């Protein structure tokens, strides 16, 4: 099955996103760790926003997956810290970490939109 341009994938598009998935997981773990150590939800939200924006710009197709990956790792790290570490986050802090999805949505779709603008401005 080919498309109008003669190939299955457009030029310059590799099929693998595994490096980007690893980067998203690492950004989510770092954002969760910062939320535990600093305890400031706004700073965590800015980390999530920047991470999702970067990944949305790098891979603008289906930007919701970056929100899901990064946003899920923040409460998972909080939960693991509650179970394993001596420093226990409070219950409201764990539930607040779910709010990281909101700036993640804005960042991922903003990054994808920015990539579309750049692609349209500098098209051949």
pLDDT (tens, 9 = 90+) of the chain, 124 residues, equals: 555 555 444 555 556 789 999 999 999 999 999 988 888 889 999 999 999 999 999 999 999 999 999 999 998 998 898 889 877 777 787 788 888 899 999 999 999 999 999 999 998 8
pLDDT score at 9: 42
pTM assigned to the model: 0.82
In contact, 40 and 74? CB cutoff 8 Å? no
CB atoms within 10 A of CB 106: 17
What pLDDT is recorded for position 90? 77
What pLDDT sits at residue 20? 93
Q: Is the dihedral of CA 100, 103, 109, 112 positive or negative?
A: negative
pLDDT for residue 3: 53
Position 11 scores a pLDDT of: 55
């Amino acid at each position: 099955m080919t498309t109008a341009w003669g190939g299955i994938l457009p030029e310059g598009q590799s099929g693998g996103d595994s490096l980007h998935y690893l980067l998203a997981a690492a950004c989510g773990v770092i954002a969760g760790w910062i939320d535990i150590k600093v305890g400031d939800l706004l700073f965590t939200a800015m980390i999530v926003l920047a991470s999702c924006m970067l990944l949305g710009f790098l891979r603008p197709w289906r930007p919701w997956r970056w929100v899901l990956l990064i946003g899920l790792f923040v409460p998972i790290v909080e939960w693991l810290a509650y179970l394993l570490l001596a420093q226990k986050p409070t219950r409201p802090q764990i539930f607040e970490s779910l709010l990281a999805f909101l700036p993640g949505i804005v960042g991922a779709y903003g990054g994808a939109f920015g990539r579309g603008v750049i692609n349209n401005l500098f098209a051949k």
